[in-house]
Amino acid sequence: MTTRNATIERVLPDIFYEDPEPVEDGMQQELTITLLAFILRWWFSRRPDVFVSAGGFIFWNPANGNERVAPDCYIALDTDPDFVYQFPNYFIWEVGKPPDFVLEVASPSTASNDLGRKRDLYARLGVPEYWRLDPTGGDLYGVALMGERLVGGEYVAYDLNVDPDGSVWSRSEVLNLDFLWDGEQFSIRDPLTGEIIDPRLSVEQERARAEAAEGRAELERARAERERQVRLEAEDRLRRLMEERGEE
Q: Does 88 have pLDDT greater than 90?
A: yes
Give the integer Cα–Cα distance in Å for 180 and 12: 33
Confidence of residue 225 (pLDDT cuts 50, 70, 90): confident
pLDDT tens digits, one per residue of 125-159: 999 999 999 999 999 999 999 999 999 999 999 99
User: How many Cα atoms occupy the beta-carbon half-sphere of 43 within 13 Å?
Assistant: 20
Residues facing residue 203 across a β-bridge? none
Mean pLDDT of the 40-47 span:
94
Write down the mean pLDDT value for the chain.
85
pLDDT value at position 209? 55
Mean pLDDT of the 194-212 span:
68
Give the integer Cα–Cα distance in Å for 25 and 129: 25
Confidence of residue 21 (pLDDT cuts 50, 70, 90): low
| Strand blocks (E) in the chain | 50-53, 58-59, 68-69, 73-77, 90-91, 101-105, 129-133, 145-151, 154-157, 161-162, 168-172, 177-181, 186-190, 195-196
Q: Does 4 have pLDDT greater than 70?
A: no
% of the chain beyond a pLDDT of 90: 64
DSSP 8-class letter at 45 = T
pLDDT value at position 146? 97
pLDDT value at position 8? 42
Give the integer Cα–Cα distance in Å for 227 and 200: 41
153 Rama class: left (phi>0) / alpha (psi -120 to 50) / beta: left
Range of weakest confidence among 7-11, 29-33, 42-46, 75-79:
7-11
Q: Does 208 have pLDDT greater than 90?
A: no
Mean pLDDT of the 90-98 span:
97
pLDDT value at position 202? 55
Q: Are 144 and 106 spatial neighbours (Cβ–Cβ below 8 Å)? A: no
Give the integer Cα–Cα distance in Å for 203 and 136: 30
Confidence of residue 116 (pLDDT cuts 50, 70, 90): very high
pLDDT tens digits, one per residue of 53-72: 998 899 999 999 889 999 99
Q: Does 9 have pLDDT greater than 50?
A: no
Higher-confidence position of 230 and 98: 98
Range of weakest confidence among 101-115, 121-135, 194-208, 218-232:
194-208
pLDDT value at position 238? 77
Residues 6+ apart with CB under 8 A from 38: 199
